[in-house]
Structure 1
Amino acid sequence: MFKQLGAALAATLTMGLSAAQDITFSFISTEASQNIKADWQPLLDDMARQTGLKVHAFFSPDYAGIIEGMRFGKVQAAWLGNKSAMEAVDRANGEVFAQMVNADGTQGYYSHLIVHKDSPCNTLDDVLKNARSLSFGNGDPNSTSGYLVPGYYAFALNKFDPKTHFKIVRSANHETNALAVVNKQVDVATNNSENLEKIKERYPEKFKDIKVIWTSPLIALDPLVMHKGLAPATKAKIKDFFYNYAKTDAREKEIVMKLSKLSGFKPSSNAQLTPIRQLTLFGKRNKIEADTTLTEADKKTRLAEIDQQLAALQ
């Protein structure tokens, strides 16, 4: 993985963490990279101008690329989902420092399962009952709303394994999955409320062909993560920029609205990831309980370990 990442980053990454004034900011691949770049580049330009840092953008084709980049000091800051942020914290020396804030005051967003408007499936139960004849567009394994949340709430709680129960399973980003549903290339797919809003804006006619059949509990808004190895002065500059961005300036307010209908960013920490850690452990617990290959003694031991980890998160 790192060899592939190194080739992709070569054009823009030459200094790493040793050059405190060079920052590579990376972005999760929720949609086509050209769309993400169009939305985020004005903010990155402002960041460079206001902080004096040299800010490079890296648009990874997958979440793992960002995590590996941060692990090896080639990515210094990133917009991530909660699940991928957890991976960056655990594996790549990352730390959450900010969280997005919705313009309408809501505290999060939702994961969805979507189908074509002509689909006979109208509920999650319809999908589960007819899965053997359905193709499924899953999200990136490190996606919160595209994989972890539906994987637990829609599937694990119903003792349903997408890999073995659906006719066909493939993984893609949110936009690709949505358009695959529209074009009837997959029967059902994961998505989220934020991406569907963007689909509605960018492809209004295609959006009319999408039907939401399942909605998750509220998911905390996405975090921003930086590498712990950054110089303290550089960290302070980045935090100050995001915490104060779009507070009063009308142009900046327009920029964050275009990002994802935001009002700006607020301070956050790794504590934001606790619900995601709990979800991940709950999912593991369900798999252990359903594993018929384990002896009762092994199962009891593994479940006790999971319960101990869950208790530590309380």
Structure 2
Amino acid sequence: MKISATILAAATLGSLFAAPALAQETLNFGIISTESSQNLKQEWVPFLAEMEKQTGFKIKAFFAPDYAGIIEGMRFNKVQVAWFGNKSAMEAVDRAEGEIFVQSVDAEGNPGYWSHLLVHKDSTLNSVQDVLKNAAELTFSNGDPNSTSGFLVPGYYVFAQNGVDDPKKIFKRVINANHETNAMAVANKQVDVSTNNSENLRLVQARQPEKFANIKVIWTSPLIPADPIVWRKDMPKDAKDKIKTFFLTYGVAAPGKSQDQVKKEVETLAGLQWAPFKPSSNDQLLPIRQLELFKNRNKIAGDANMSETDKKAKLAEIDAKLADLTKRMAALK
């Protein structure tokens, strides 16, 4: 399902959420394309229906064929609130007026999730080194370029740390796809290796156990911070207050909320593979920014076509940014 309805321009956004017509106003909620729109709709519609009921806004799901579509949707105010991964959230914060306000929590209580490399269960590949050694003979399905777990994290830990600045240079063939497509491609032997993550694999296991049985995980990343929810930072305060209250009380006992309602909300969250949300901010992106800088540093350091003067200047710039990030991360502990 693709919904591209727009609302009033940013210049009139202040009046958009003003009383007394609040219940009639519209918020477009962006949902990144981790899998097919049909599956995403099934998972998200119950949650968005509750959001509509409890906030008074008319909530419309906004889908796009790739992550960039949701980022651009927020940039041009066609999306006011969105679920992102950390990498795409970073893009939304940096160039689409985005701001993180809450963070999802893993259904099993984990503080985040993990990126994986997948192969077919019958594959002779059993490690990253096996993949790199045989890459010239392998087809690789990478993630969306704006995906944290599908692209950025394996891009750094699997490739950059092993001296590979671009997977396209070493594999026989490289394509990009969403998590669901990548998992199915491996299970069906359409590609040799793909990226994925722990959250999507749980969905595959629940929905298509026979396909899941054909998948082997050969690499697991360090923990990735859980997915953020982002709003446009220029939204009116009263609108933000309503939305944030909804997220932080959803699935949680609160005055005036029955046990049956809490149970229903918890079940809806379980359909998204989540537990109740927790507050967050743009600071959760600091380790992701660090990864991106490390990756860029390795690429520049290995660029044989760049002059030593330019290289030295660019590396010094990156090192200064990394030092600043280290200080900021230390201050949060």
Out of 198, 206, 213, the residue aligned to residue 211 of structure 2 is 206
Say whether residues 1:38 and 2:68 are aligned partners: no
Separation of aligned partners in 1, 2:220 and 2:54 = 40
- Segment drifting more, 291-300 vs 211-220: 291-300
3-state SS of paired residue (1:266):
strand
Partner of 2:101: 97
Q: CA deviation at 1:72?
A: 0.6
Deviation beyond 6 Å, 4+ runs, structure 1: none
Q: Is the 8 A contact 1:70 1:93 kept in 2?
A: yes
Separation of aligned partners in 1, 2:123 and 2:107 = 33
Q: CA deviation at 1:182?
A: 1.1
Partner of 2:319: 307
Q: Is the 8 A contact 2:120 2:214 kept in 1?
A: yes
Q: Is the 8 A contact 2:89 2:228 kept in 1?
A: yes
- Structure 1 16/60 Cα, relative in aligned 2: closer, same or farther at 3 Å? farther
- Structure 1 9/32 Cα, relative in aligned 2: closer, same or farther at 3 Å? closer
Alignment of 1:275-290 (within 5 A): 275-290=287-302
Q: How many residues align?
A: 305
Cα offsets for 1:64-89 (capped at 9, x unmatched): 00111101111000000000000000
Q: CA deviation at 1:15?
A: 3.1
Say whether residues 1:222 and 2:235 are aligned partners: no
Partner of 1:74: 78
Partner of 1:4: none
3-state SS of paired residue (1:148):
helix
Partner of 2:271: 258
Separation of aligned partners in 1, 2:135 and 2:7 = 48
Cα RMSD after superposing both structures? 1.1
Out of 139, 144, 150, the residue aligned to residue 148 of structure 2 is 144
Q: Is the 8 A contact 2:103 2:278 kept in 1?
A: yes
Alignment of 1:1-314 (within 5 A): 9-10=3-4, 12-17=5-10, 18=13, 19-20=16-17, 21-160=25-164, 161-248=166-253, 249-260=262-273, 262-314=274-326
Q: CA deviation at 1:102?
A: 2.1
3-state SS of paired residue (2:118):
strand
Separation of aligned partners in 2, 1:287 and 1:196 = 31
Q: Percent identity?
A: 60
TM-score norm. by structure 1 comes to 0.95
Q: CA deviation at 1:103?
A: 3.2
Partner of 2:331: none
3-state SS of paired residue (1:61):
coil
Please tell me the residue identity of whatever aligns with 1:267. P
Q: Is the 8 A contact 1:15 1:22 kept in 2?
A: no
